[in-house]
């Protein structure tokens, strides 16, 4: 999925290109991604609406529509989603096209998703809490006034889960996905299956510093390289996508682990597993309800 550094690059482009545009039609080429949380049909809702604002909320892109209905169009790209804006007259339809907004000037905003895991929501403005994952949004990781070491330690306090699960909890932290969680854990030299309750203040401070450095560096790298809107840059990452390759820090072979349905890439030497804390975590989950 587009993660926070990707969205920091993509959303301003979408805002610059689309703010003020008028929608004349919409097409759901992959109906499985569409969720209309209103009684009307899609083709009765969107034509004539103007795009008043484009913003990010957690892992989603929010298109605020300026017509009398006061609607939001929200796209959650998930694993493989990406955006493109066509030139007027473009007729070629890509095989991964899931949803399109047709604009009055002849362009189209296209949401492409080859695995169809993303979702496109049309709903009344202010109803974002009806979208799974957007009810609560955590600490803004790129705002130094909000994301302090003290605030991060407070967010970790009382957590019963594994550290990779915690880092990817968007209700706590806004926001890390799978790839950048791996990069942060590598930078901080923390094992992805470490129990949050077993982390010391020093380890939490290392994680905080790693989040700031990794997301900041990635955001600057993507901006400097100016990729195409639908291109996802990952070649500069140190461990993500590199299982079996030498660790860039120590040379040991990077490994893959499973963490509650997500894979994690880590270095067994730089990020040694604390088996005692993991065992305590599992025993605690068996004892405690919920």
Write the DSSP string, 259-274.
Answer: ETTEEEEE-TTTS---
pLDDT at 69: 85
Tens of pLDDT, residue by residue over 168-218, are 999 999 989 999 999 999 999 999 999 999 999 999 999 999 999 999 999
pLDDT band at 165 (very low <50, low <70, confident <90, very high): very high
pLDDT band at 277 (very low <50, low <70, confident <90, very high): very low
Tens of pLDDT, residue by residue over 238-272, are 999 999 999 999 999 999 999 988 899 999 999 99
- Residue 92 tokens read as 């070629």
Give, as one character, the DSSP assignment of residue 32: G
pLDDT band at 276 (very low <50, low <70, confident <90, very high): very low
Write the DSSP string, 97-110.
Answer: EEEEEEETTS-EEE
Tens of pLDDT, residue by residue over 122-133, are 999 989 999 998
Q: How far apart are CA 290 and CA 279, in angstroms?
A: 18
Residue 65: which H helix or E strand, with range? strand 60-65
β-bridge mates for residue 65, sequence order: 51
pLDDT band at 274 (very low <50, low <70, confident <90, very high): confident
β-bridge mates for residue 174, sequence order: 140
pLDDT at 15: 98
Question: Among 8, 32, 14, which residue's Cα sits nearest to residue 109?
Answer: 14
β-bridge mates for residue 263, sequence order: 258
pLDDT band at 41 (very low <50, low <70, confident <90, very high): confident
**Who contacts 117 (Cβ-Cβ below 8 Å, separation ≥6)?**
78, 79, 80, 81
Question: Among 8, 76, 1, 66, which residue's Cα sits nearest to residue 224?
Answer: 8
pTM recorded for the entire structure: 0.90
pLDDT band at 1 (very low <50, low <70, confident <90, very high): low
In terms of DSSP bridges, do strands 173-174 and 139-140 run parallel, antiparallel, or are they unpaired? Answer: parallel
Q: How far apart are CA 275 and CA 109, in angstroms?
A: 49
pLDDT band at 279 (very low <50, low <70, confident <90, very high): very low
High-pLDDT (> 70) share of the chain, %: 94
**Over the chain, what is the mean pLDDT?**
92
pLDDT band at 67 (very low <50, low <70, confident <90, very high): confident
Indicate if the pLDDT at residue 237 is higher than 80. yes
Indicate if the pLDDT at residue 44 is higher than 90. no
Q: Is 235 exposed, middle or buried (0-12, 13-18, 19+ CB in 10 A)?
A: exposed
Tens of pLDDT, residue by residue over 137-151, are 999 999 999 999 999
């Amino acid at each position: 999925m587009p993660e926070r550094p990707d969205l920091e690059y993509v959303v301003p482009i979408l805002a610059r290109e689309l703010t003020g545009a008028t929608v004349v039609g919409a097409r759901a080429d992959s109906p499985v991604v569409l969720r209309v949380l209103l009684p009307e049909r899609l083709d009765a809702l969107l034509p004539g609406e103007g795009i008043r604002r484009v913003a990010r909320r957690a892992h989603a892109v929010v298109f605020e529509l300026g017509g009398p209905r006061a609607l939001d169009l929200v796209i959650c790209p998930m694993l493989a989603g990406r955006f493109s804006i066509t030139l007027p007259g473009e007729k070629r339809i890509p095989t991964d096209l899931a949803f399109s907004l047709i604009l009055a000037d002849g362009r189209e905003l296209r949401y492409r998703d080859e695995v169809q895991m993303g979702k496109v929501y049309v709903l009344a403005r202010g109803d974002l809490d009806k979208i799974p994952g957007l009810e609560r949004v955590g600490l803004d990781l790129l705002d130094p006034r909000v994301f302090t070491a003290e605030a991060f330690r407070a967010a970790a306090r009382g957590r019963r889960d594994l550290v990779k699960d915690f880092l990817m909890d968007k209700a706590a932290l806004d926001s890390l996905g799978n790839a950048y969680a791996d990069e942060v854990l590598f930078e901080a030299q923390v094992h992805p299956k470490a129990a949050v309750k077993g982390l010391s203040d020093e380890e939490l401070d290392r994680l905080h510093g790693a989040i700031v450095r990794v997301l900041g560096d990635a955001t600057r790298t993507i901006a400097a390289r100016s990729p195409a809107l639908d291109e996802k840059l990952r070649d500069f990452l140190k461990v993500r996508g590199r299982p079996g390759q030498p660790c860039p820090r120590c040379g040991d072979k990077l490994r893959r682990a499973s963490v509650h349905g997500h894979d994690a890439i880590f270095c067994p030497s730089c990020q040694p597993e604390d088996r005692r804390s993991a065992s305590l975590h599992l025993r605690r989950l068996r004892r405690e309800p919920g």
